[in-house]
Structure 1
Amino acid sequence: MGIAASSATHGAARPIMDDAEFERWVRLLESRTGVIVPPERKPFLETGLRRRMRETGHTEFRRYYDELLDGARGAMEWAALVDHLTVHETHFFRHMPSLNLIRDEWLPQWLAGVPADRSLHALSVGCSTGEEAYTLAMVLDAALSGFEPQRLFGITATDVSQPALAMARQALYPMHRLAEIPPNYREHAIETVDGEQFRIVEKLRRRVGFACVNLLHASRAPLRKLDLIFCQNVLIYFARERRGELLDALARLLQPNGLLVLGPGEASNWTHPQLVRTGGRQTLAYLRTTKEIPA
């Protein structure tokens, strides 16, 4: 009897997702996150859902779906599910051409056009476990450290995954990740915790604040006007027709002469009347003109 019960449980733990069920989950994900799951990604979605359902004791897609709509309890489980379905792969200094554009071309021009006591405010979208945000902090700190009076900066880093943000706030990374950070940055940016981990130094940690924000709602988030927006490898998860809307919302957050940096190929056909393309062929970046962007 024990074996039969075990077999029944095992069978029930692997529900079949037919096309109608798949479409229902696709609509939920798109409405809540904006992320599109195309038909060819059905196995990925099904596997991710099954994994989380096993952890929570669910055996039916429909019942699990209904629980996600159940008030505060459903909201907590939704946050956990999004973390399961979100890709967190990232690296320090992931795209050097974009960072070089910020440091060597945009930043000197920006500094020349603002008062000496003006602080720089940046946004890292889809920051995952913090590597991108801390990379920006390293680059900006090194570039601004030689100015008198001292130039200050702050970075708001956002993601939809609370567990990823918790890791980002700790700023602890395995020692093998140190190879991703160029040697000329390491002395002033990291401290060894033990033989297996290093940590971003407090000076840089204080410059970065993390917040759980969905890109769909970025324009409604309490963000001040920004000088720099770094949004790479995020738009690829959204439908092409929606990417323009999201970029328009980000453009409205930019200060005059602010810079929007995207991942190469993410939205190469997008245009905006108050933004002009800048940088070389290896980058995809837009500079905000001095004209006012209507809300």
Structure 2
Amino acid sequence: MNKLPPLVLPKVEFNREFSFSDADFERIRKLIYKEAGISLNPSKKDMVYGRLVRRIRELKLATFAAYVDYLESVAGKREFEQFVNALTTNLTFFFREEHHFPILADHLKQRAAAGASELSIWCAASSTGEEPYSLAITALEAFPHGSKPAISIIATDLDTSVLETGRKGIYPEDKIARLPPGHAHKYFDKLPDGNYQAKAVLRNMITFQRLNLIENNWALRKQFDAIFCRNVMIYFDRDTQFAVLKKFAPLLKPDGLLFVGHSENFYFASDYFQLRGKTVYQHAPKK
């Protein structure tokens, strides 16, 4: 019986609207790493094309090479913000990784019982605001009766467009549906267009501001009872992760907690932090 010859599929070349070479992709990888610490896998070439092609159309450029040239020019400095916004991932929803919130509530109550009159939280990758609003709700629910300590939340992100969404606190109904039962009515107002806006009591607790985690100098001048930095450092290489964690250490109060994402493990930073529970860290004992 004769065997069929092996099937050889022709290499498929996609017809792109704009020329996008491997060299163009490599230049973009270096730029986003330098600016945001994001380490793009070589497999992300198609994703990068899809994210940036709209910028090239809007700027009326002919190729990706021309776009990168523009980014590297003096005139292109303002475009860098759009460039970073396009390449950052902002998947989030209310009470994501829900096991963290009861831990936070207990931690805040313990701090208040110990005499703390002010409690502060830093949400270091706030995206469109669902996470800091979840933190604010958790803090309010932790003190349902009588007086409570003053609670403030700093919400930072590299992407300026998502920060503006967070400041407004307006979300569609499908986002609000993820809230625990009763929380939508208690903490959000339904708007005439069918969207929902966080009540003033939540919005007044949160300050949204831009911050780049890989910059040397952060505009933060206080220590925090808790820091949430979840599902962002998976995009950083090990050296960048370590540098960020090292800078977190002095900003976290001695008995503070660091909350990280479900797939993040920072065993290599054991001089600064030790694992306390499921993706929750505390300061390492001083040696």
Task: Label 1:254 to 1:290 Cα distance change in 2 as closer, same or farther (>3 A).
Answer: farther
Q: CA deviation at 1:289?
A: 6.2
TM-align CA RMSD: 2.2
2:5 maps to none
Matched, 1:17 2:21: yes
Aligned to 1:33, which of 24, 36, 44?
36
Q: C-alpha deviations, 1:203-227, integer Å up to 9, x for none?
A: 1100000011111127522342111
What number of residue pairs does the alignment pair up?
A: 273
Change (3 A) 1:161 1:29: same
Q: What amino acid maps onto 2:174 in structure 1? A: H
Give, in whole Å, the separation in 2 of the partners of 1:219 and 1:97. 32
Instruction: Name the structure 1 match of 2:98.
Output: 96
1:207 match: 205
What SS class does the counterpart of residue 270 from structure 1 fall into?
A: helix
Deviation at 1:160, TM superposition (A): 1.1
Q: What secondary structure, in the 3-state scheme, does the structure 1 residue paired with 2:268 have?
A: coil
After superposition, residues 165-180 of structure 1 pair within 5 angstroms as: 165-180=163-178
Give yes or no for contact 2:170–2:195 (8 Å, CA) kept in 1. Answer: yes
What pairs with 1:32-71 in structure 2 (closer than 5 Å)? 32-71=35-74
CA distance in structure 1 between the aligned counterparts of 2:215 and 2:20, rounded to whole angstroms: 33
8 A contact 2:230–2:261 mirrored in 1: yes
Once the two structures are superposed, residues 106-157 of structure 1 have per-residue CA deviations (whole angstroms, 9 ceiling, x without a partner) of 22332333x34x2111111111110001010000111134353x31110110
SS at match of 1:214: coil
Would you say the 8 A contact 1:129–1:164 is kept in 2?
yes
Distance in 1, Cα, partners of 2:29 & 2:282: 35
**Aligned residue in 2 for 1:112:** 113
Distance in 2, Cα, partners of 1:205 & 1:130:
10
Q: Distance in 1 between matches of 2:98 and 2:54?
A: 36
Partner amino acid, structure 2, of 1:111: A
**Aligned equivalent of 2:162, options 143, 164, 177:** 164
In structure 2, the gaps of 5 or more residues are 1-14
Matches within 5 A, 1:1-295: 13-18=17-22, 20-71=23-74, 73-104=75-106, 106-113=107-114, 115-116=115-116, 118-148=117-147, 150-194=148-192, 196-217=194-215, 220-279=218-277, 283-288=278-283
TM-score, normalised to structure 2, is 0.87
Letter in structure 2 aligned against 1:152: A
CA deviations over 1:214-265 (Å, ceiling 9, x no partner):
1112752234211110111111111133212211211221111111000122
Structure 1 unmatched runs, 5+: 1-10
* Distance verdict in 2 for CA 1:125–1:241, change over 3 Å: same
In structure 1, distance between residues paired with 2:89 and 2:53:
17
Which residue is equivalent to 2:9? none
Q: Distance in 1 between matches of 2:96 and 2:111?
A: 23
For each residue in 1:154-189, what CA deviation from the matched residue of structure 2 results, as whole angstroms up to 9, or x when unmatched?
Answer: 011011111111111111111222211101433431
239-248 or 174-183, larger mean C-alpha shift:
239-248
* Equivalent position amino acid for 2:247 in 1: A
In 2: Cα distance, 1:100 partner to 1:271 partner: 25
**Residues 267-288 of structure 1: CA deviation (Å, up to 9, x unaligned):** 2423333533212xxx201123
**Amino acid of the structure 1 residue aligned with 2:235:** Y
Deviation at 1:13, TM superposition (A): 4.4
One-letter amino acid of the structure 1 residue matched with residue 175 of structure 2 = R
2:18·2:64 contact (CA, 8 Å) conserved in 1?
A: no
CA distance in 1, matches of 2:252, 2:145: 26
Query: 2:108 touches 2:119 (CA, 8 Å); kept in 1?
Result: no
